[in-house]
């Protein structure tokens, strides 16, 4: 903890920081369903949202929760839900609905052990791939992964910004450890962090196309009740939002969903690195594991091993170009995750030819320790 | 017929000019008749098009909103009420109308259905009941008549049925009605009443799927099935005076249940006010 | 041609001078492009004003009998029939 202003600092639980981040970002609607270890987010917003005149509802299940969030977003609200693995699985159909209808919304997934009911009170990072491929069909995902209480706050704000900028659902992958741990943090002042709002239409109502193909592939978005009477449908549709079966229109729509994110992925990219300048070995990790990695790399450096740490904060779109560049001088890479191997497949895919990729996974519900990572570094060097 | 009937082409003023017509439904499908009744009800009430949101799920009746010039949201199978809850909470001053079907609302959507009734949220739901899954080719639904043939009940339906009106009433809806696609003017009035009602309004519109249900069960074409509704519907005022023997084979139509109960969005607003007052009083 | 298909004959019929609507707009307006020939308006008309053509779509066979009762346009699922007077 460096240079923290102790007068302004608060001891916040990760889930509480998520609540504060959502409030900072200007959340106007939350719908959720209780599920360990995310419940504190719903509870915090149940207390805070009525106090600021924003809307809170506990829906009858996770499916209904994301449905209500999407409905509210189309009615103009910045909207969010929070859940864990089992609920995230239930939400997949509507995540796809949000993709195809280009509805901005934020989904917090406080990951726990799976599959199925799994380990409600123990940690894992096993939804990494689900965040990219969970729902059926072709689409491009945005997912971010904080690794500290402060980052939970910042990434929640960033998730809202990305959702609004790209008119898409954004998943924040936290986990049971981050959700329930407590750290000191200073909540930023108003104006310190950028807040992004969706582009509004600048044409007369008769000329408005809810899925207008623009230069940056992101259509301005009017809300229900603002005078633009448009149609939103989960059926593959044309620029007006009417269902289509015309092959060129279908392709145009799906290309748009991909292009709007892939062509502007620089705006989404976020990564943190430590001691990578002269590193011959790199430890790639994310979420709560990154905390252990930074510690492990420090310990290994004391033993004169040239190792560095790479922490992607944006998980999806995966930082292909940036990671490939970063690994160009690196001989060996260790990918450390709390699962049986998910991000490692992406790393293998983009690693340059001369770089060897090693996987270390922990999936017994316990945290990855710095010592474990140090051992692995010793093994591969 | 009364002289209160609007101009005969009023429906045309509420259709989306950019949509393809004729509509996608089979010739004689009751969905189009329900759409007409809905549009006339909205017109009679003088609602502002910009202030109306129509939300539907998946199924033949759920194709309705796209044709109409309002704020329309065509969602996932069974989930219209959950989406509509979000829309209504976000913009409580909008009139939110849900179009759903017997399968969409009562099978996959059953959970959202009972909770929307329980909350008594100010949404008007028109449940078009054609006793079958039409869009997917004729499978049985939770309202398919006992003994009827469907593609997934090829030996006759041995499952029991929901009574839509009883279910909605028991779950807490404050306005529950049943109409048919034959008795269109009654249907229109029931829809008007439902939209006006502050609370959850459920209007079951008994409709015909002659393409699947009718063909599989030899109930005839659209005219035959709609004529059946004419013969077997009994308005609730008349039914009340009849002995039970006379009601065999008949079903009750009209406003069957109405009560006054606090509405969900209003309750939430009251909470917000209370908290604001507390904060101001500090 | 007229011997084999009497229905065609009906569609070519001109209203007579005694007809209620002679020289004026006919009672009903039929949008053949939107009509699917479902037969509802024809079957439920209490005065048998409409008769089917070879596609099953309505023809104004007896316009003089139309009482503007509205059953046809209230029940048309395709909004394909309207009145010129209401």
Decide if C53 is inside a domain. yes
Residues 6+ apart with CB under 8 A from A96: A135, A136, A137, A139, A234
Best B23, B86, B97 residue to mutate vs chain A (most A CBs within 10 Å): B86
pLDDT of residue C20: 67
Write down all domains in chain B, each with its CATH number in brackets.
10-281 (3.40.50.970)
Which residues of chain B register pLDDT less than 70? 1-5
pLDDT in tens, A192-240: 999 999 999 999 999 999 999 999 999 999 999 999 999 999 999 999 9
Query: How far apart are alpha carbons A218 and A256 in whole angstroms?
Result: 8
pLDDT in tens, A10-34: 999 999 999 999 999 999 999 999 9
pLDDT in tens, C34-56: 999 999 999 999 999 999 999 99
pLDDT of residue A344: 98
Decide if C1 is inside a domain. no
Omega of the bond prior to B145 within 30 degrees of 0, cis?
no
Contact C77 B12 (CB under 8 A): no
pLDDT of residue B254: 98
Contact C78 B21 (CB under 8 A): yes
Q: Closest to C75 (Cβ–Cβ): which among B5, B22, B184?
A: B184
Tokens 């809810």, residue? A210
Q: Within its chain, how far is the Cα of A145 from the centroid?
A: 5
How many folded domains does chain C comprise? 1
pLDDT of residue A46: 98
Q: For residues B41 and B195, is the Cβ–Cβ distance under 8 A?
A: yes
pLDDT of residue A256: 98
Say yes or no: B271 contacts chain A, CB-CB below 8 A: yes
Residue A352 pLDDT more than 60? yes
To the nearest whole Å, the CA of B141 is away from the closest chain A CA by: 22
Decide if C72 is inside a domain. yes
pLDDT of residue A1: 52
pLDDT in tens, A338-351: 999 999 999 999 99
Contact B90 A77 (CB under 8 A): yes
Decide if C43 is inside a domain. yes
**Secondary structure (3-state) at A17:** helix
Contact A225 B74 (CB under 8 A): no
pLDDT of residue A4: 81
pLDDT of residue C86: 83
pLDDT of residue B20: 86
Q: What is the CATH number of the domain that holds C77?
A: 3.30.70.20
pLDDT in tens, C7-24: 444 444 554 544 567 778
Q: What integer best gives the mean pLDDT of chain A?
A: 97
pTM, two decimal places: 0.94
* Predicted ipTM of the assembly: 0.95
Runs of H (alpha helix) within chain A: 14-25, 39-48, 62-74, 85-101, 128-133, 149-166, 176-180, 247-262, 288-302, 320-326, 343-350, 370-380
Alpha carbon separation from B142 to A240, B13, B104, B110, B164 (Å, rounded): 35, 36, 10, 10, 10
Residue C2 pLDDT more than 80? no
Best B15, B23, B83, B275 residue to mutate vs chain A (most A CBs within 10 Å): B83
Q: Is A245 exposed, middle or buried (CB count within 10 Å of its CB: 0-12, 13-18, 19+)?
A: exposed
pLDDT of residue B5: 61
Decide if C21 is inside a domain. no
Query: How far apart are alpha carbons B278 and B204 in whole angstroms?
Result: 43
Best C69, C79, C80 residue to mutate vs chain B (most B CBs within 10 Å): C79
pLDDT of residue B2: 38
Residue, of A8 and B88, whose pLDDT is higher: B88
Domain containing C51 equals 6-16+26-83
pLDDT of residue C1: 42
Q: pLDDT > 90: what percent of chain A?
A: 98
Decide if C39 is inside a domain. yes
The sign one gets for the Cα dihedral A302, A303, A306, A309 is negative
Write down all domains in chain A, each with its CATH number in brackets.
10-185 (3.40.50.970), 269-380 (3.40.50.920)
Q: Which residues of B touch C (CB under 8 A)?
A: 1, 5, 7-9, 11-12, 15, 21-23, 25-33, 35-36, 181-182, 184-185, 221-223, 226-227
Tokens of B5: 């009937």
To the nearest whole Å, the CA of B248 is away from the closest chain A CA by: 38
């Amino acid at each position: 903890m460096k240079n923290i202003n102790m007068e302004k600092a608060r001891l916040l639980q990760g889930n509480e920081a998520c609540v504060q981040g959502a409030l900072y970002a200007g959340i106007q609607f939350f719908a959720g369903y209780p599920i360990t270890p995310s419940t504190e987010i719903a509870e915090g917003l149940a207390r805070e949202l009525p106090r600021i005149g924003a809307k809170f509802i506990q829906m009858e299940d996770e499916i209904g929760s994301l449905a209500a969030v999407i409905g509210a977003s189309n009615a103009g609200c910045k909207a969010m839900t929070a859940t864990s693995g089992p609920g995230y699985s239930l939400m997949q159909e509507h995540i796809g609905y949000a993709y195809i209808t280009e509805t901005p919304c934020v989904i917090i997934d406080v990951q726990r052990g799976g599959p199925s009911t799994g380990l409600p009170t123990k940690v894992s990072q096993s939804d990494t791939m689900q965040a990219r491929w969970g729902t059926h069909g072709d689409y491009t995902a945005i997912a971010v992964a904080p690794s500290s209480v402060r980052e939970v706050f910042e990434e929640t704000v960033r998730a809202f910004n990305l959702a609004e900028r790209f008119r898409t659902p954004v998943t924040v992958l936290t986990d049971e450890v981050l959700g329930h741990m407590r750290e000191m943090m200073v909540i930023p002042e108003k104006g310190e962090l950028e807040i992004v709002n969706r582009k509004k239409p600048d044409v007369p109502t008769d000329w408005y196309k809810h899925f207008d193909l623009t230069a940056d592939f992101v259509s301005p978005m009017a809300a229900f009740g603002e005078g633009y009477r448009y149609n939103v449908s989960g059926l593959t549709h044309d620029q007006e939002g009417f269902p289509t079966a015309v092959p060129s229109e279908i392709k145009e729509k799906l290309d748009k969903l991909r292009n709007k994110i892939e062509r502007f992925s620089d705006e989404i990219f976020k990564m943190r690195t430590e001691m990578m300048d002269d590193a011959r070995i790199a430890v790639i990790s994310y979420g709560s594991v990154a905390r252990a990695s930074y510690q492990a790399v420090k310990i290994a450096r004391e033993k004169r091993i040239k190792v560095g740490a790479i922490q992607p904060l944006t998980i999806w779109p995966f930082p292909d170009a940036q990671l490939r560049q970063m690994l160009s001088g690196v001989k060996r890479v260790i990918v450390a995750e709390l699962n049986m191997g998910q991000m490692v497949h992406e790393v293998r895919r983009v690693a340059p030819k001369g770089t060897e990729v090693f996987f270390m996974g922990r999936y017994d519900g316990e945290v990855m320790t710095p010592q474990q990572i140090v051992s692995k570094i010793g093994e591969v060097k | 017929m009364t002289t209160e009937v609007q101009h005969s082409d009023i429906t045309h003023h509420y259709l989306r000019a950019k949509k393809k017509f004729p509509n996608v439904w089979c010739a004689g499908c009751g969905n189009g008749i329900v759409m007409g009744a809905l549009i006339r009800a909205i017109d009679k009430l003088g609602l502002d098009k910009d202030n109306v949101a129509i939300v539907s799920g998946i199924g033949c009746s759920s194709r309705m909103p796209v044709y109409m010039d309002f704020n329309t949201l065509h969602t996932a199978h069974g989930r219209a009420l959950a989406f509509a809850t979000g829309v209504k909470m976000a913009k409580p001053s909008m009139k939110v109308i849900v179009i759903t079907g017997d399968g969409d609302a009562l099978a996959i959507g059953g959970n959202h259905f009972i909770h929307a009734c329980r909350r008594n949220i100010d949404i008007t739901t028109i449940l078009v009941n054609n006793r079958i899954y039409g869009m997917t080719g004729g499978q049985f639904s939770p309202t398919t008549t006992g003994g009827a043939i469907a593609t997934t009940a090829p030996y006759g339906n041995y499952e029991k049925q929901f009574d839509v009106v009883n279910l909605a009433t028991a779950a807490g809806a404050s306005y529950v009605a049943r109409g048919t696609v034959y008795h269109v003017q009654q249907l229109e009035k029931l829809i008007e009443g439902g939209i006006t009602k502050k609370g959850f309004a459920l209007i079951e519109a008994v409709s015909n799927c002659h393409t699947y249900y009718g063909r599989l069960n030899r109930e005839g074409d659209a005219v035959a099935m709609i004529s059946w509704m004419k013969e077997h519907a009994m308005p609730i005022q008349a039914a009340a005076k009849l002995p039970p023997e006379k009601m065999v084979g008949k079903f009750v139509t009209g406003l069957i249940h109405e009560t006054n109960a606090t509405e969900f969005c209003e309750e939430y607003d009251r909470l917000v006010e209370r908290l604001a007052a507390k904060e101001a009083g500090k | 041609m007229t011997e084999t298909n009497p229905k065609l004959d009906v569609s070519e019929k001109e209203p007579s001078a005694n007809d209620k609507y002679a020289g004026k707009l006919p009672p009903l307006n039929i949008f053949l492009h939107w009509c699917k020939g479902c037969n509802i308006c024809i079957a439920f008309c209490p005065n048998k004003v409409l008769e089917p053509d070879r596609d099953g779509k309505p023809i104004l066979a007896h316009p003089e009998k139309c009482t503007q009762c509205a059953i046809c346009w209230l029940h048309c699922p395709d909004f394909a029939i309207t009145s010129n007077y209401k």
